[in-house]
A and B are shown apart, each in its own frame.
Chain A
Amino acid sequence: MRPVTTGPLLEVDHLSKRYGSVVALDDVSFAITDGITGILGENGAGKSTAIKILLGLLQPTSGSARILGEIATESVAVRARVGYMPEHDCLPGQVSAAEFLTHMAEVSGIPPAAARTRAADTLRHVGLFEERYRAIGGYSTGMKQRVKLCQALVHDPAFVFLDEPTAGLDPAGREEMLALIRKTHRDFGISVLFSSHLMSDVERTCDRIIVLRGGHLVHSGEVAQFTSDTETVFIEADTNRDELVLALRRRGVLVTATGGGLTIVGPDASVYDHVRDALVEAQAPLRRMAPRRRELAELFEGEPT
Chain B
Amino acid sequence: MTGTVFDIGYQGYTGQREGRGRGRAAVYKDGVRAALGLGRGGRAKVLPWFFISVLTAIALVMAIVAGAANLLGGPGTAAKANLPSHSDYYGIASVIMFVFAALVAPELLCRDRRDGVINLYLVRPLTGTDYVAARWLAFLTIMLGAAWLPQFILFLGLSMGDPAPMSYLATHWLDIPRFLLAGLAMAAYATTLAMLTASFTTRRAYASVFLVGLFVITVPFTVGVADEIGGKAGQWISMFNLTNIPVHVNDLIFGQVSDVTEDAPARLLPAWIRVAWLIAWTIIPGTVLWGRYRRLTP
Contact surface of A with B, Cβ cutoff 8 Å:
1-2, 52, 55, 57-58, 76-80, 82, 84, 86, 88-96, 99, 103-104, 106-111, 114, 118, 121, 125, 135, 151, 155-156, 187-189
User: Does residue B165 face the partner (Cβ distance < 8 Å to A)?
Assistant: no
What would 9 A/B residue contacts be, using CB atoms closer than 8 Å? Answer: A77-B125, A79-B123, A86-B123, A91-B117, A94-B41, A107-B124, A111-B16, A111-B18, A121-B10
B117 contacts which chain A residues (CB < 8 A)?
90-92
B14 contacts which chain A residues (CB < 8 A)?
1
Cross-chain contact B125 with A80 (CB below 8 angstroms) = yes
Contact surface of B with A, Cβ cutoff 8 Å:
9-20, 22-23, 25-27, 29-30, 39-41, 44, 111-112, 115-117, 119-127, 297-298
Q: Which of A82, A99, A106, A156 contacts B23 (CB 8 A)?
A: A106
How many residue pairs, one in A and one in B, have C-beta atoms under 8 Å apart? 114
Query: Taking CB as reference atom, which chain B residue is nearest A78?
Result: B125
Shortest distance in angstroms between B112's beta carbon and chain A's nearest beta carbon?
8
Shortest distance in angstroms between A80's beta carbon and chain B's nearest beta carbon?
4
Cross-chain contact A86 with B116 (CB below 8 angstroms) = yes
Shortest distance in angstroms between A162's beta carbon and chain B's nearest beta carbon?
12
Cross-chain contact A151 with B13 (CB below 8 angstroms) = no
Shortest distance in angstroms between B120's beta carbon and chain A's nearest beta carbon?
5
Cross-chain contact B16 with A108 (CB below 8 angstroms) = no
Cross-chain contact B17 with A109 (CB below 8 angstroms) = yes
Once A91-B115, A103-B30 are accepted as A-B contacts, the answer to whether A109 and B22 lie under 8 Å apart by CB is yes
Q: Which of A52, A106, A135 contacts B298 (CB 8 A)?
A: A52
A82 contacts which chain B residues (CB < 8 A)?
123
Shortest distance in angstroms between A96's beta carbon and chain B's nearest beta carbon?
8
* Distance A55 CA – B19 CA, assembled complex (angstroms): 16
A106 contacts which chain B residues (CB < 8 A)?
22-23, 25-26, 29
* Distance A93 CA – B297 CA, assembled complex (angstroms): 22
B27 contacts which chain A residues (CB < 8 A)?
107
Cross-chain contact A77 with B19 (CB below 8 angstroms) = yes
* Distance A43 CA – B124 CA, assembled complex (angstroms): 25
Q: Which of A78, A79, A109, A135 contacts B41 (CB 8 A)?
A: A135
Cross-chain contact A2 with B298 (CB below 8 angstroms) = no
Cross-chain contact A90 with B13 (CB below 8 angstroms) = no
Query: Taking CB as reference atom, which chain A residue is nearest B11?
Result: A121
Once A57-B297, A104-B120 are accepted as A-B contacts, the answer to whether A109 and B10 lie under 8 Å apart by CB is no
